[in-house]
Amino acid sequence: MLRSPLMFLVSQAGRLFAAILISILVSLGTLPSITEAQDPVNIVVTIPVLKDLAEQVGRSHVRVTSLLSGYENEHTYSPKPTDLVAVRKAQLLFEVGIGLEVWVSSLVKNAGSPSLRVVTTSQGIGLIRDHTDHHLGTHRGGEVAGSAGNPHIWLDPENVAIMLRHITEALIKIDPAHTADFRNNQAAYLQQLDRIRKELSDRVKRLSDRRFIAHHPAWPYLARRFGFDIAATIQMQSGTEPSALQLQSLIGKIKKNHIKVIASEIQLSQKLPDLLAKETKARVVVLTTLPGGLPGTETYLDMLRYNVLQLVNALEAA
């Protein structure tokens, strides 16, 4: 049946009214535009573990750029011009804090983005203070309240749960329309995290000897969580090397106490661990502090499993 001219005019008027109403709601912020609803949140993170966590929570609602790829030393990283561009475009920047990324504050300042929100994911985590015997290079972990402490907090999955909460809350604030998605993704990841933590804890419990020498103090959180014993540490700070006297003392300690494993890191030079292994017949196992540093460690959970099982296998073989 053909519509009359009157019916056509009424139909057209209805469509025009609907279009005007939607336009008014969008301008008032009551209704998000189609473009806004589809645009993911631009996020910059300092290290790959934060990229993985942000993507686990945000999924398709985020676009995440990590300044480090996994092969660099997080302490001595030097930002590139492309990092400055990425920060300028970002709405959120996630960092660990605790002095890990000493280079990030000047990067943010130079980016000059007033709308950028910087989130420190270490807030509320009980830190471990580094206690050093400079004659032997030994390392022991003790808890301390405050801002000073060992920054490698993500190597304990319990700390990652806290970091994940900070990331989730920041995403909800900037994109409240997807709150339910963020909460559900957070809960699903926490279940995976708990399952792997239990699996690895059960594996470590079978070891009769859990002692190892650390290359530098990256491992106290992992050691405390899973029951490893860091008998000594070769380098207490990146970029500094122990003296010949300290090395001889460390060699004597390894031999006297029959310590069989040295845990090195792909991000550091292998010269000193290899030297100690040659002198003491200890076994060197190369780990990674960052996801992506070694094949098979692309995600945080992959990295956690890799590091713990590599240590376990080396200690069993020794």
Average pLDDT, whole number, for the chain? Answer: 87
> Which of 38-42, 65-69, 177-181, 215-219 comes out lowest in average pLDDT?
38-42
Q: How far apart are CA 165 and CA 30, in angstroms?
A: 28
pLDDT of residue 18: 52
154 and 261 together in one domain: no
90 and 54 together in one domain: yes
112 and 214 together in one domain: no
169 and 240 together in one domain: no
266 and 127 together in one domain: no
pLDDT digits (tens, 9 = 90+) for 271-310: 999 999 999 999 999 999 999 999 999 999 999 999 999 9
pLDDT of residue 129: 87
Boundary-marking domain end, from 195, 215, 249: 195
173 and 252 together in one domain: no
pLDDT digits (tens, 9 = 90+) for 12-62: 555 655 555 555 544 555 544 443 456 999 999 999 999 999 999 999 999
261 and 286 together in one domain: yes
Q: In this structure, which long-range contacts are made by residues 253-259, counting pairs with CB atoms below 8 Å and at least 24 apart in sequence?
A: 253/136, 253/138, 254/213, 254/280, 254/282, 255/280, 257/211, 257/231, 259/211, 259/212, 259/213, 259/231, 259/232
Q: Is residue 12 part of a domain?
A: no
pLDDT of residue 241: 86
- Work out how many domains the chain is built from and give that number: 2
DSSP symbol at 215: S
Q: Is residue 137 part of a domain?
A: no
pLDDT of residue 207: 97
Please tell me which residue, 17 or 90, carries the higher pLDDT value: 90
Task: Find the CATH number of the domain harbouring 273.
Answer: 3.40.50.1980
pLDDT of residue 12: 55
Give the rounded distance of the alpha carbon of 168 from its chain centre: 14
Cα–Cα distances in angstroms (integers) from residue 209 to residues 204, 219, 311, in the given order: 10, 17, 11
Q: Is residue 25 part of a domain?
A: no
pLDDT of residue 318: 77
pLDDT of residue 24: 52
Q: Is residue 7 part of a domain?
A: no
pLDDT of residue 33: 44
pLDDT of residue 140: 36
Residue where the block lists tokens 């926490």: 190
Q: Is residue 17 part of a domain?
A: no
Using the predicted structure, report yes or no on whether residue 66 has a pLDDT greater than 70. yes
pLDDT of residue 277: 97
